[in-house]
Copies of this chain bind each other. A is one copy, B any other.
Amino acid sequence: MIVVMKRGVSEQAIQRIAQRVEQLGLKAHIIYGTERTVIAAVGDKRNHERETLESFEEVEKVVPILAPYKVASKETKPEPTIIKVLDLVLGGGNVGVIAGPCSVESEQQILESAHKVKAAGAKGLRGGAFKPRTSPYAFQGMKEEGLKLLAAAREATGLAIVTEVMTPHHVELVAKYADILQIGARNMQNYHLLQAVGEIRKPVLLKRGPSATMEEFLLAAEYILDQGNQEVILCERGIRTFETHTRFTLPLATVPYLRERTHLPIVVDPSHGTGIASLVAPMCAASVAAGADGLIVEVHPDPQKAVSDGAQSLTPDAFVFAMEQSRKVAHALGMTM
């Protein structure tokens, strides 16, 4: 950490802060500048003491130097983590695709979805059984019945099942049926839930919260990793900005940025990221070009009858087109898909 002192503070104050730095188990280097004095606090403390030092009246600000996450960091594990479940492979130069409806609605709907997305090249099936909905009056999902239908769809197609878990006491139940547990954007900082999925041994797809910084996102992954579950998939799904022409703003520079810092695979969700079906195909292709390890896409056999997210769901035909475009880009850049 770098502790920046306020202008004109006394030597006594400087020494007092330096002493405090040393008490925290760090080494203090005082640098007297022309207008400001700064104290470099050296040692591997990952900034936990930042707030303490910022509370001193004579301190202007404290600048962290080290990233606060460790296990998620490429510095800890330089080689990429590749996640394989059934035929779905995320990472290591392969683009894996997960597709399916927003919600599981019926046996016919989920089976038809599964067959259609498989035919187009998807290796994973998404579908919500427990649905977080902004309004308490909206459809909340088919719950365990939905999980069973997902498992049946896996039986029928061999697709890996990705579905959301919303609360710690459902983790065991969802893990019984699903291949990959999804943590939704609203729950990215639901720490008890992160710890609960950290305790199981199935991959977790962690969606970025709509106002999460890169540090907060990687620290959420760290909560899961810290419990011993090493299979975390990071999912960029758009952030909340002043833009209203799309549902969220999809910031694809996240993909190469994270790539430089973490070994975890990175997946993009252009359906939530835009909220508009006609924008999904170009953003799938763009995600692959940006270096994504996978895509997660909403596809519904009949979007106009979808109980949720109809506006952003692709028809099976539109999904075929999105896959073709993305595959062209992947192959052109030397990736398999």
Q: How far is the CA of A308 from the CA of B240 in the complex (A)?
A: 27
Question: Nearest chain B CB to A292's CB is how many angstroms away?
Answer: 9
Report chain B residues within 8 Å CB of A226: 136-137
Report chain B residues within 8 Å CB of A252: 250, 252, 283, 286
Which chain A residues in 261-304 approach chain B with CB under 8 Å?
273-274, 276-279, 282-283, 285-291, 303-304
Report chain B residues within 8 Å CB of A313: 55
Q: How far is the CA of A62 from the CA of B283 in the complex (A)?
A: 23
Within 8 Å of chain B (Cβ to Cβ): is A138? yes
Report chain B residues within 8 Å CB of A276: 257
Question: Nearest chain B CB to A197's CB is how many angstroms away?
Answer: 13
Cβ–Cβ contact A211 & B213, under 8 A = no
Within 8 Å of chain B (Cβ to Cβ): is A162? no
Report chain B residues within 8 Å CB of A306: 51-52, 55
Within 8 Å of chain B (Cβ to Cβ): is A142? no
Report chain B residues within 8 Å CB of A241: 239, 241-242, 249, 251
Report chain B residues within 8 Å CB of A273: 253
Q: How many residues of A contact B (CB 8 A)?
A: 106
Which chain A residues in 175-226 approach chain B with CB under 8 Å?
186-187, 189-193, 209-211, 213-216, 219, 222-223, 226
Cβ–Cβ contact B244 & A63, under 8 A = no
Within 8 Å of chain B (Cβ to Cβ): is A91? no
Report chain B residues within 8 Å CB of A249: 239, 241, 249, 251, 253
Which chain A residues in 132-148 approach chain B with CB under 8 Å?
132-138
Within 8 Å of chain B (Cβ to Cβ): is A157? no
Report chain B residues within 8 Å CB of A69: 135
Question: Nearest chain B CB to A8's CB is how many angstroms away?
Answer: 9
Within 8 Å of chain B (Cβ to Cβ): is A7? yes
Within 8 Å of chain B (Cβ to Cβ): is A40? yes
Q: What 10 pairs across the A-B complex have the smallest Cβ distances? A: A55-B310, A211-B211, A54-B311, A332-B332, A167-B192, A186-B189, A289-B289, A285-B289, A286-B290, A328-B332
List 23 A-B residue pairs with CB atoms under 8 Å apart, sorted by A's residue number: A20-B304, A33-B65, A34-B44, A52-B304, A55-B303, A68-B137, A133-B191, A134-B189, A134-B219, A136-B226, A168-B168, A213-B243, A213-B244, A239-B241, A239-B249, A242-B242, A252-B252, A256-B283, A285-B289, A289-B325, A328-B332, A329-B329, A329-B333
